[in-house]
A and B are shown apart, each in its own frame.
Chain A
Amino acid sequence: MARLLQFFSILSLGALFCGVCGAQDLHAPSNVTAGEDVALPTSGSGKATFYLAGPGISQKNDVTLGEEIRLSGQDLRYAGDYTAILCSDTCHTATFYVTAAKPASVIFLVHPSRVPVGQNDAVSGVAFPFDQYRNLITVPENVNFQLSAKDASLWPRSIRTQNGVAWFRANSGKSAGPVQAVASLDDLSAKRAVQQVASDPCNLRITGQRTPNGILVQTEPVHDCAGNVVPDGTIVTFTATGPNGKGTVDAPVKQGIARAKIESPGTSVISVASGVVMGNEIRLGAQP
């Protein structure tokens, strides 16, 4: 019997406190978008103090219970968890989450800025959609990636973002030159350029002849294995081995061809290399 009395006493006290709660309450919205005005309904009567804490904001206001507390969109620019506290005799807390607004920009990173042709998975791109307040949009969105060279589309693909990120990996093409990478989302787009460059020289061949001042040696047009001319400035090393020892010249490619003068009066064997790639050897007779 005593236990039953104790139970009803606790129930009564709970009901009393709930009555106090009901007199002063704060209702948080279920769905808030960044930058939108929001009204938080309150109940009860009298004066109270309202606190709002969230990403990039912390404020305190005097409010009247029973009226709506209006939060401006400027106060809710940043996506994330917000805590609203209403204090009168006691304090009541409500939390709500502000989600990012609609996409306003796409950040697009492409790596590398230069890539040799014919490389597998050599180009990677990452796109991040952001709203106008620079909040990362984490709800899935379709980002269209497009690689194109000389107005020809090489690689269109639509990829859905996961946790605010969409990415791709692609092989580099076969032709040297600029490749445009575009990431688009709705009517937004971001463009980047990747320079496809010739790969290592392939089938490096030289010709040479004696001149009154020594040996003039030059390469045939230097290409990579895909037929792209290597960029000007690429170093080609010519080596002449003769009775006077060895002579070497590091000559840069100019308009696709590298030339060098080497002093080697006797019968000489001339070889060529560029980086780790070796070319042919030629033999020239002694200076007449």
Chain B
Amino acid sequence: MKYAIAIILVAVTAGLMVVGLFVTAQAGGTIGIAKGSALHTAKASTPDQALNNLLADVQRRNWDRAFANVVSTGGITEPAFIQDWIGSNGSVRSFSSLEGFEVRPLHETNDEAQMRVHLHFSSPVGPIEDVRDFHLVREGDLWKAVWPKVEIPSVPAQVIPVTYLRWDLVTGSAGDEWGAKNVDSPHVRIISMNAVDSAQGSVVMGEVTNEDTVPAFVTVNATLVDGAGNAIDEESSFDKIAHVLLPKQVTPYRIDFPNLSLKNVKNVHMDVKATLVPASADPVIGVMNQKIETDSQGKSVLHGDLLNQSGETVNIPHVIVSFYDNSGKVVWVSDGYVDRALLPQSTEAFAVEIPKSLAPSIHNFHVVVNQYSLNNS
């Protein structure tokens, strides 16, 4: 009797191990959407299994085994493959980890397969979703992913003179007379505001400009008020705004009120706060080749390229876009983080999604690039 508990534990453990093996086999054999898991099939006899193995190894950062599941016809090396996944230069990707993935087959023959994978990354700026198409080929009994050569921007050694303005703040000494050291806060103004209902709740958005001649750190808050004059909810623009505005610069802002309908809202009180802040006019980032296109999933997406025209690495570029209808009204504000660092004098592509219902009414757009550099933080 005294061995009963031990025997039961051993039996249950053995049972779970058998079930585990069974579940692994089931996962490998799933047709259609396969959810990402950390389970690894010893032999990838199907494209699903091969891709699941590859992504599971990437999740575990088991790079040698992951790279063994790759056909490097494009000449990719293992370090480049690793850098493709873990990022570099303090980019968002270098602070992210692959949380999960969903694999969908697109096309499959006996020797080749095309798979689409939804990748879910966790990052300091929130969850990041990515969609990648993988081409797999069969080599003997095994399926492997074809990995194209990753173009890692390399910057030649050079000297780039920076002569743009920088603003510093000097705080007056404590002994100064009352009223002698007042420096006013920057004058900023909300130039447009629009409140709409969306699938996730209410959204208040628009644009704000710095009308002053000094930089401003700007935050926009909105309070929804009901018919009786009571505040229903109060939110701020958080990261959906370029907080540091140089003189005459315009930024979009968006304030989300999740799970709240505008039906009960009578008024929206806007409050914009601005404080003096040290700032630099460098780096200048150009936004090139901006175009609204429909992607492979049928979604309307604004694509473009960021061009860093300065000599400073922008570790985390952040793109905020205001979309206008044909009357010039802001109808939506989207944002997105670029997961690679923007090196000096180099470009990085970005894409920002547009809600399907709004895509036909969009007539124009304005892109603002917010930038975070580790050297300046």
Q: In the bound complex, what is the Cα–Cα distance between A246 and B365 (angstroms)?
A: 9
Q: Does A92 contact B (CB under 8 A)?
A: no
A233 touches B281 (CB 8 A): yes
Chain B min CB distance to A240 (Å): 9
Residues of B within 8 A of A249 (CB): 284-287, 309
Q: Which residue in A109, A246, A248 is a CB contact (below 8 Å) of B182?
A: A109
Residue of B nearest to A238 (CB): B286
Binds A, one of B9-17, B160-168, B221-229: B160-168
Chain A min CB distance to B194 (Å): 17
Within 8 A of B (CB), among A24-59: none
Q: Does A111 contact B (CB under 8 A)?
A: yes
Most B-side CB within 10 Å, residue of A237, A252, A274: A252
Q: Does A227 contact B (CB under 8 A)?
A: no
Residues of B within 8 A of A113 (CB): 182-184
A252 touches B178 (CB 8 A): no
B179 touches A109 (CB 8 A): yes
A192 touches B179 (CB 8 A): yes
A262 touches B246 (CB 8 A): no
Chain B min CB distance to A174 (Å): 17
Residues of B within 8 A of A262 (CB): 286, 288
Please, could you name 20 A-B residue pairs with CB atoms under 8 Å apart, sorted by A? A107-B178, A108-B179, A109-B182, A113-B182, A190-B179, A192-B179, A230-B213, A233-B165, A235-B246, A235-B247, A245-B289, A247-B289, A247-B290, A248-B367, A249-B287, A250-B249, A250-B285, A252-B246, A260-B309, A275-B248
Residues of A within 8 A of B291 (CB): 244-246
Q: A252-B165, A275-B250 are in contact. List 6 more A-B contacts (CB 8 A).
A: A110-B182, A113-B182, A235-B246, A237-B250, A249-B309, A275-B209
Q: Does B329 contact A (CB under 8 A)?
A: no
B289 touches A263 (CB 8 A): yes
User: How many residues of A are counted as interface, with CB atoms below 8 angstroms from the partner's CB atoms?
Assistant: 40
Q: In the bound complex, what is the Cα–Cα distance between A274 and B247 (angstroms)?
A: 9
| Binary A-proximity of B192-210 (CB < 8 A = 1, otherwise 0) | 0000000000000000011
Chain A min CB distance to B124 (Å): 26
User: How many residues of B are counted as interface, with CB atoms below 8 angstroms from the partner's CB atoms?
Assistant: 42
> For chain A, what secondary structure do more than half of its interface residues adopt (helix, strand, loop), or is it mixed?
strand
Q: Does B180 contact A (CB under 8 A)?
A: yes
Residues of A within 8 A of B365 (CB): 246
Q: In the bound complex, what is the Cα–Cα distance between A96 and B356 (angstroms)?
A: 79
Q: In the bound complex, what is the Cα–Cα distance between A284 and B330 (angstroms)?
A: 29
Q: In the bound complex, what is the Cα–Cα distance between A237 and B209 (angstroms)?
A: 13
B179 touches A107 (CB 8 A): yes
Given A114-B184, A192-B179, A276:B309 Cβ within 8 A: no
Interfacial residues, chain A to chain B (CB-CB below 8 A): 107-114, 190, 192, 197-198, 200-201, 230-237, 244-252, 254, 260-264, 274-276
A251 touches B167 (CB 8 A): no
A252 touches B164 (CB 8 A): yes
B249 touches A276 (CB 8 A): no
Within 8 A of A (CB), among B126-167: 163-165, 167
Residue of A nearest to B286 (CB): A249
Given A109-B182, A252-B284, A231:B213 Cβ within 8 A: yes
Residue of B nearest to A197 (CB): B213
Q: Which residue in B184, B209, B246 is a CB contact (below 8 Å) of A111?
A: B184
Q: In the bound complex, what is the Cα–Cα distance between A252 and B215 (angstroms)?
A: 12
Residues of B within 8 A of A250 (CB): 246, 249, 284-285, 368-369
Given A112-B184, A233-B281, A248:B366 Cβ within 8 A: yes
A245 touches B284 (CB 8 A): no
Most B-side CB within 10 Å, residue of A201, A235, A261: A235
Q: In the bound complex, what is the Cα–Cα distance between A252 and B163 (angstroms)?
A: 11
Residues of A within 8 A of B210 (CB): 275
Q: In the bound complex, what is the Cα–Cα distance between A230 and B213 (angstroms)?
A: 8
Residues of B within 8 A of A233 (CB): 164-165, 167, 213, 215, 246-247, 281
Q: Does B304 contact A (CB under 8 A)?
A: yes
